[in-house]
Structure 1
Amino acid sequence: MKNEPKPNGDQKYTVVTSVNAYVTAADAKAGKNIKGTVKAGTYFVFNKSDGMINVTTKPGAPGSWINPNENKAAAPVYHSVVKGDTVSELAVKYGASQADIKKWNNLNDDYLIKIGKRIRVK
């Protein structure tokens, strides 16, 4: 396995969506032996090996190995509004929050979405 220089502890890495957490870099590369998840957020980089990254919340302390290829935000999902649609119903249907749908689409009123308009829902 190719080892890369150990970061100085100040290097940070942003996880944009929850990813699998692995015990070793080899496990992360192979996608096996998942031990949990690393939630979205900014982490310190403890080590790198063979393209895999060990991220941690405490500088200088080992954490979990992740595969950066799993760290991709999902593509936005859009919905064409039909009669009867409400932000609250769309939030439930697509598993998003009403606040996010309102923010993504610059909406001020939950009930004022125009029929035929294409809005982001996830």
Structure 2
Amino acid sequence: MSTPPPSRPFNSASSDARKWSRRSKRPLPQVQQFTKAGRMKSASSAYDGLTQAKDSQKIESTLRTLRRQRLSEYMQPVYIEPMAKPTLQASGDMLFPLMDKVKDFLSGDSQVMLILGDSGAGKSTFNR
């Protein structure tokens, strides 16, 4: 006569797993993870996901570096000194550096200086 196996505490999860394993006659995967959709995923696909995450971190880091380089190149001083005419009707050969007139204005007693120009000429940029 054979002796019965020693009794173990009942665990419904392990009991169900053993039944499932016996029914399908396939070994249970040793490591599994739940995906966001609630499906099981094997350890090898989890490793692939980890590798992809590391690759995406490298890509994001490289993109950040390239973005910083592009912005630093963009912020390099490319300043074209604005030129002005004494009046709107004056001819183009009467141009002078606007900064000289502004310095004269600031050193004088005048309180208002009017700067006119076409849209996109750089009036606001000059005032900054």
Q: What is the TM-score with the length of structure 1 in the denominator?
A: 0.22
Larger radius of gyration: 2
Greater RCO (Cα-Cα under 8 Å, separation 6 or more): 1
Q: Which has the higher strand share?
A: 1
TM-score (norm 2): 0.21
